[in-house]
Amino acid sequence: MLQTQAALDPASLARLAKDTVSRQNEWRGKGTLNLIASENVMSPAAMSLYASDFEFRYAEGTIGERYYEGTRYVDVIEDACEKAIKTLFRAEFVDLRPLSGAQANLAIFSAFAKPGDSALSLNVPSGGHISYRDFGAAGCRGLAVHDIPFNNEDFTVDIEALRGLFKRLGASLKVVTLGGSLFLFPHPVNEIAKALGESFPDGEVALHYDAAHVLGLIAGGQFQDPLREGALVVSASTHKTFPGPQGGILLASNLKDKQRSSLRKAVFPGLVSNHHIHRIPALLYAAAEMMRFGADYASQTVANAKSLARSLDELGFKVVGKARGYTSSHQVAFDASGLGGGALVSRALTEANIIVNKNLLPGEDVRNSKNPAGIRLGVQEVTRFGMKEREMDSIAHMFHDLLIGGESKESIATRATKLRREFEEVKFTF
């Protein structure tokens, strides 16, 4: 951290920028095992497309109808990307312009509800993301947010209790949001869509599915397909299990003309002016990678997650979701309350060059967020570098040896870096 005014001179700031990026690239990029469930890496080819002249340009509006001149190549690349994404997800509607998954969520709340309306979503301990809670994007829209009833033991939505909530909220309900941040198993989209249709036969409630974490698994055919199961609209991030640039996306297949128009307007001019078009060539390349390699990548990702969970369980960790097979996604979670809590464990692992995050677990008091019981892991990045089940077992043993066996952080850090150095080339790419 800069401590003195003298360090704020331009030359020092320039050196600080260069030196810090170099250190980040070396440590996080090459020296650690990254198990953050919301991160991934682009292939070198996609990275090369990310930094281009597009980075400096504006392209307000839609393809062929821009408010700026000089956008002929923007139209070419954005049109190709939209068509690729539509093909990949069998979607009729695509909007690439949201700058994040949270912003994509806000666009949905803005398009389908007005201030004072009610929305349903999972609370944070049950896996819900902050963006669809009253202190996040839904609250920014002025929505009254209610909890989707959730069975903490089975990790699934309580459909019968949800039906009762539909009746209680009545005409005030405008959006039901599925998906989440802690997302181990598919949600019962089909059953909820059917219950919504029975309670609201005029279709006035939008069933929204947040696929931020599982978009790549959906693309690879290894998770549920929410659009086919009854979701009206899907939002997502393009940089988690989908290995593209950071950004957001909207997908739909059965929007009415008025709904389509409302969603478009919510994005632009509602939330986005220029949509950072340098993302689009890299996103197109990532989409091409997923069209060719997505099934293999997603399959290996899920296999790795299951393998890591099983190894951790066998080594004495309290892995959640065991009764359902631990996980069906890229994520693994375990209860670290007996090891000092999520905050302590996540810091210890970071000092040992294994990057994870602390996380609330279902049924936990949200006031525990600074030191929750849980640890959340994601294997999508290490899978992208070519690791398989054998390496998952090695990683689990590092967890055990550090947190249970008492091996030093320095020793584990050396082991973690050594393993990472054996997998430096991005796989599942052209």
Ranges of H-type helices in 90-151: 101-112, 137-140
The reported pLDDT for the residue numbered 2 is 47
Q: What is the pLDDT of residue 8?
A: 80
Q: What is the mean pLDDT of each run of 10 residues along the chain (430 residues)?
A: 63 93 96 98 98 96 95 98 98 98 98 98 96 96 98 93 97 97 98 97 95 98 98 98 98 97 98 97 98 98 98 98 97 98 98 98 92 97 98 98 98 98 98
CATH of domain 294-421: 3.90.1150.10
Domains 48-284 and 294-421 equal at CATH topology level: no
Q: In CATH terms, is domain 48-284 a member of 3.40.640.10? A: yes
Q: What is the DSSP letter of 323?
A: G
Domain ranges (residues) in the chain = 48-284, 294-421
What six digits make up the tokens of 290? 């997923």
CA 24 to chain centre: 22
pLDDT at 3 (0 to 100): 53
Q: What are the CA-CA distances from residue 275 to residues 133, 210, 211, 261, 264 (Å)?
A: 25, 20, 20, 18, 13
Query: Rounded to an integer, what distance in angstroms lies between the CA atom of residue 285 and that of residue 279?
Result: 10
Query: Which element (helix H / strand E) includes 126?
Result: none
